[in-house]
Amino acid sequence: MAVPKQKTSKSKKGMRRSHRSAVFKNIVEDKKSGEYRLSHHVDAKTGMYNGKQIFKPKI
């Protein structure tokens, strides 16, 4: 059975677990509609992005 020769330091343990951190979505409130959407994404309900009409939404 494999047994570690030395104690794993807090630093090494943290480096090993670095990819396990929580990932938070960047949710912002839309200026015109007041609804929440992802940052740098087109608003699906209005079809607007950066003050420009990108597509016509289905009603």
How does pLDDT run across 36-56, given as a tens digit for each residue? 989 999 988 888 888 899 999
Name residues whose C-beta falls within 8 Å of residue 3's C-beta, 6 or more positions apart in sequence.
none
Does the pTM of the predicted model rise above 0.95? no
Cα dist from 58 to 35, 45, 46, 47, 55, whole Å: 17, 8, 9, 9, 9
Beta strands in 1-59 (DSSP E): 27-29, 36-38, 48-49, 52-53
CA angle 38, 42, 44 (to 5 degrees): 95
**Mean pLDDT of the 16-22 span:** 92
Which of 10-14, 25-29, 30-34, 50-54 has the highest mean predicted lDDT (pLDDT)? 10-14
